[in-house]
Homo-oligomer: A and B are copies of this chain.
Amino acid sequence: MKHILTRRSIRQYSGRDIEPKLLNRLLTEAARTQTMGNLQLYSVVVTRSVEGKAALAPAHFNQPMVTQAPVVLTICADFRRTSKWAECRKAKPGYDNALSFTNAATDALLYTQTFCNLAEDAGLGLCFLGTTIYMPLPIIEALKLPKLVFPVATLTVGWPAEEPPLSDRLPLESFVHQESYHDPTPADIDRFYSEKEARPENQEFVRINKKETLAQIFTDIRYTKKDNEMMSKGLLAALRHQGFLGENRT
């Protein structure tokens, strides 16, 4: 797994397709990941068609990777298949609730990341689209996801046609705590973030956006309170629409 040290998100892909045989091998091997009760509470929708990608693009703010990558994978938390199994076997499923959604989303995200590691190890490049949970309803419609299926991750996948610089990471002590959580002091924050803040590309970001600090780029532009609260409502509404907040209907 040496690739992990040099991995970067890849947003530009060569014209080369991904052979179904390779994709299926990676999707099969990723399923060795641990899963709750061995139930595999996830599903993957593979989008290769031009029309399929065009239908997904708006939900991802029309980021060009969606239409340019040979393959788009939408990974879903899925309690549908397991519930159908139960119904076919004289068993009464009870998975229309927040805990079951969280269990299935966990399964789906662990599966997703093993797939990423396997795909990158095989030389593929990919980009994880965090937009999946920003506007889930158009994705649910485009992929015809029924109740108890909910998209939690999207990957655009292809053969790399770029080699962007490695992105920075915080020092280990900023995110690893011994025995109990150490709440960071202002001095800790200075130590953790000084390298990130000093990077020329980040200073340039601050300058061109006419902000005072790098943190303001995140709070005022990229991930604002207003957007987060609006999209939280949309996320909860979509979860309800897919039947995952059943216990809250009263």
Which interface residue of A128, A181, A216 has the most chain B CB atoms within 10 A?
Answer: A181
Determine if A161 is an interface residue (Cβ-Cβ < 8 Å). no
Interchain CB contact under 8 A, A215 and B130: no
Is B103 a contact of A106 with CB atoms below 8 Å?
Answer: no
Known: A28-B172, A247-B229. A4 touches B114 (CB 8 A): yes
Which residue of the partner chain, among B97, B189, B218, contacts A88 with CB atoms under 8 Å? Answer: B189
Instruction: State the copy count for this chain.
Output: 2
- Once the chains bind, are A153 and B106 in contact (CB under 8 Å)? yes
A219 CA / B89 CA spacing, docked (Å): 11
Fill in one digit per residue for A140-183: 1 if any B CB lies within 8 Å of its CB, else 0: 00111110010011000000000000011110101111111101
A91-B215, A216-B91 known; A149 vs B223 contact (CB < 8 Å): no
Is A198 an interface residue when CB atoms closer than 8 A count as contact? no
Contact of A223 among B37, B98, B231 (CB under 8 A): B37
Q: Is A36 an interface residue (CB 8 A)?
A: yes
Given contacts A118-B1, A146-B183, contact A103 B90 (CB under 8 A): no
A7 sits at the interface (CB 8 A):
yes
Asked if B220 and A170 make an inter-chain contact with CB atoms under 8 angstroms apart, the answer reads no
With both beta carbons as reference points, the residue of chain B lying nearest to A100 in the complex is identified as: B228
Q: Name the distance in Å between A129's Cβ and chain B's nearest Cβ.
A: 10
In this assembly, does A61 line the interface, its C-beta being within 8 Å of a C-beta of chain B?
Answer: no
Give 4 nearest A-B pairs by CB, closest first.
Answer: A94-B225, A113-B113, A89-B215, A91-B215
A-B contact pairs, 28 of them (CB 8 A): A1-B117, A1-B121, A27-B172, A31-B175, A37-B223, A38-B169, A43-B177, A45-B179, A46-B177, A46-B178, A52-B180, A76-B181, A78-B175, A80-B183, A81-B174, A88-B190, A91-B215, A91-B218, A94-B219, A95-B225, A98-B232, A102-B133, A102-B235, A103-B130, A113-B117, A142-B180, A149-B181, A233-B247
